[in-house]
Amino acid sequence: MTSEISTDICIIGGGSAGLSVAAGAVQMGARVVLIEKGRMGGDCLNTGCVPSKALLAAAHHAHAITRSHEFGLHTSAPQIDFAGVMAHVRDVIAGIAPHDSVERFERLGCTVITDTARFTSHNTLIAGGTTVRAKRFVIATGSRAAIPPIPGLEDVPFLTNETVFENNSCPQHLIIVGGGPIGIEMAQAHKRLGARVTVIEQGHILPKDDPDLVAVARQSLENDGVSLYENAMAKQVCRHGAGYRLTMTHKGAELTLEGSHLLIATGRRANIDDLGLEQAGVECANGAIRVDARLRTSNRRIFAIGDVTGGLQFTHMASYDAGIVIRNALFRLPAKVNYSAVPWVTYMDPEIAQVGLNEEAARATHGNDIRVATWHYAENDRARAERRTDGLIKVVTTASGRILGAGIAGHQAGELIGLWSLAISRKMKMGAVAGHIAPYPTLGEISKRAAGAWYTPSLFSKKTRKIVRLLLGLG
């Protein structure tokens, strides 16, 4: 038997983006149907942000013990219980899961359907045995690991971000294909937890970040003992005993690696299969759903948000995009997205954080009419006290001082980047940051010092000295 539901908003996908829309809309008085075929919380809670940061936290603690002698503390090497570490990861997920659960959203007033969804027309879909008609739909089905066409890969079992956290034994040698944020975070985490780790990247690691920041990350990984092969291409993979044999080309030579575990971290692919998008009149481009600045698809009654659009794949975009959809769908306001001040962070140690344009992108847009200010962690007293002096901040502005972008490589960079995201979104100039009072001693002074350094050439110039001497000569 089938049932029918008529509702105001129907959301496909119970990940961060879909849950943000559902929670906001239902509490504002809309009738909401939420459909999720898998685990509530989606990739972020179950296989992405939450487990990866929990694993990294364990790795950071293990590494801190090895550095304790720098503070006059002498301890033995940490005894790592890898299965216990993974139990910690699962415990963190379990602690957050109730916030994203079916029960919570039903208590809020949502109708939750735990099944697959497929459009049958422009305003109708079917999920399990239920037909849903809605005034507005939101597609928030997320993404999954993209698998590269490496010969032999289809014949061997391998790990992705969706399965790596199910592994309870420390890899003897973990080979990671992909040097983006996922690959780099997992490389450092596993190395600090006792594994031998090799990363293969066809270009440069962390390709979306400023090269000066990436240099700090690269040095940290090499100091940890991670083997990096950049500008390398995986050519073939096969089983070798209980592990793997991978052949690659690097610097014109062919090399072979043997490892116990293989992790594929070569990007993400939007989940658009089997949704019946053609029946709904929803167009796709480049393997993702095409949306306009209001996040509307080619069917103006259907919105798409999050990873499924192929745009910025960050969990913190979920609530932002949800706000755009709610203003459009509930209040009929023509709200549009503005992604000019979206920060992102790679949570390795030290962290790498970026917002706005990096130097290369700024020069491509503004030519040579830009200025760059930097300040190093080694010049910060708090960083010295904590022996966290590796890193720098780099800020890019127009010639007049309007902030175009900022990047930070260093301890707690993800916490520090928020100031610059606000500055860019409010079109602030460097004077606003240079003039604020930062408590001493804090890492926050790094931002203030970088802004102050922007004024150094003019503030301590010969012209300034002449003016000062003239004014002092007046009595």
| Spans of all domains in the chain | 3-40+101-144+269-329, 153-266, 343-459
Burial class (CB in 10 A: 0-12, 13-18, 19+), 133: middle
Report cis status (omega within 30 of 0) of the bond before 439: no
Q: What is the distance between the alpha carbons of residues 12 and 117, in angstroms, rounded to a whole number?
A: 7
- The values of phi and psi at residue 42, to 5°, are 60, -155
Pairing of strands 124-127, 130-139: antiparallel
Amino acid identity of 418?
A: G
Query: What topology does CATH give the domain 343-459?
Result: Enolase-like; domain 1 (3.30.390)
- The values of phi and psi at residue 197, to 5°, are -135, 135
What's the confidence (pLDDT) of residue 468?
Answer: 86
Specify whether the CB–CB gap between 33 and 9 falls below 8 A: yes
Alpha carbon 170 to its chain centroid, in Å, reads 25
| pLDDT confidence tier of residue 461, bands split at 50, 70 and 90 | confident
Sign of torsion, CA 355 359 361 362?
A: positive
Specify whether the CB–CB gap between 280 and 122 falls below 8 A: yes
Mean pLDDT calculated for residue range 220-235: 98
Q: What is the distance between the alpha carbons of residues 375 and 369, in angstroms, rounded to a whole number?
A: 21
The predicted-structure confidence for 279-327, as pLDDT tens digits, reads as follows 999 999 999 999 999 999 999 999 999 999 998 889 999 889 999 999 9
Structure token pair of residue 124: 């109708």
Mean pLDDT calculated for residue range 359-365: 95
The predicted-structure confidence for 123-168, as pLDDT tens digits, reads as follows 999 999 999 999 999 999 999 999 999 999 999 999 999 999 999 9
Mean pLDDT calculated for residue range 432-444: 97
End-to-end Cα separation, the chain, in angstroms: 96
| pLDDT confidence tier of residue 277, bands split at 50, 70 and 90 | very high
Q: What is the mean pLDDT of the chain?
A: 96
Mean pLDDT calculated for residue range 248-275: 96
Q: What is the distance between the alpha carbons of residues 429 and 443, in angstroms, rounded to a whole number?
A: 21
| pLDDT confidence tier of residue 460, bands split at 50, 70 and 90 | confident
Angle at 357 between CA 352 and CA 359, to 5 degrees: 85
The yes-or-no verdict on residue 231 having pLDDT over 90 is yes
Which of 321, 10, 33, 17 has the alpha carbon at shortest distance from 135? 10
* 392-395: long-range pairs with CB below 8 Å, 24+: 392/212, 392/213, 392/216, 393/446, 393/447, 393/450, 394/210, 394/212, 394/213, 394/358, 394/359, 394/450, 395/420, 395/430, 395/450, 395/451, 395/454
Which of 189 and 318 is assigned the larger pLDDT? Answer: 189
Which of 311, 383, 310, 301 has the alpha carbon at shortest distance from 342? 311
Mean pLDDT calculated for residue range 52-76: 96
Specify whether the CB–CB gap between 342 and 401 falls below 8 A: no
CA distances 123 to 9, 330, 370, Å, are: 11, 17, 49
Could you tell me which CATH number the domain at 3-40+101-144+269-329 has?
3.50.50.60
The predicted-structure confidence for 81-127, as pLDDT tens digits, reads as follows 999 999 999 999 999 999 999 999 999 999 999 999 999 999 999 99
What's the confidence (pLDDT) of residue 313?
Answer: 87
Q: Do domains 3-40+101-144+269-329 and 153-266 have the same CATH topology?
A: yes
Mean pLDDT calculated for residue range 372-384: 98
What's the confidence (pLDDT) of residue 1?
Answer: 56
Strand, helix or coil for residue 175: strand
The predicted-structure confidence for 21-55, as pLDDT tens digits, reads as follows 999 999 999 999 999 999 999 999 999 999 999 99
The yes-or-no verdict on residue 208 having pLDDT over 70 is yes
Strand partners, 374: 394
The yes-or-no verdict on residue 475 having pLDDT over 80 is no
Structure token pair of residue 273: 């299969």
- The values of phi and psi at residue 356, to 5°, are 70, -150
Pairing of strands 173-177, 196-201: parallel
Q: Which CATH number fits domain 153-266: 3.30.565.10, 3.50.50.60, 3.40.50.10490, 3.40.1010.10?
A: 3.50.50.60
The predicted-structure confidence for 244-261, as pLDDT tens digits, reads as follows 999 999 999 999 999 999
What's the confidence (pLDDT) of residue 457?
Answer: 87
Q: What is the distance between the alpha carbons of residues 293 and 334, in angstroms, rounded to a whole number?
A: 9
The yes-or-no verdict on residue 458 having pLDDT over 90 is no
pTM of the model: 0.94
Q: Could you tell me what percent of the chain has a pLDDT over 90?
A: 93
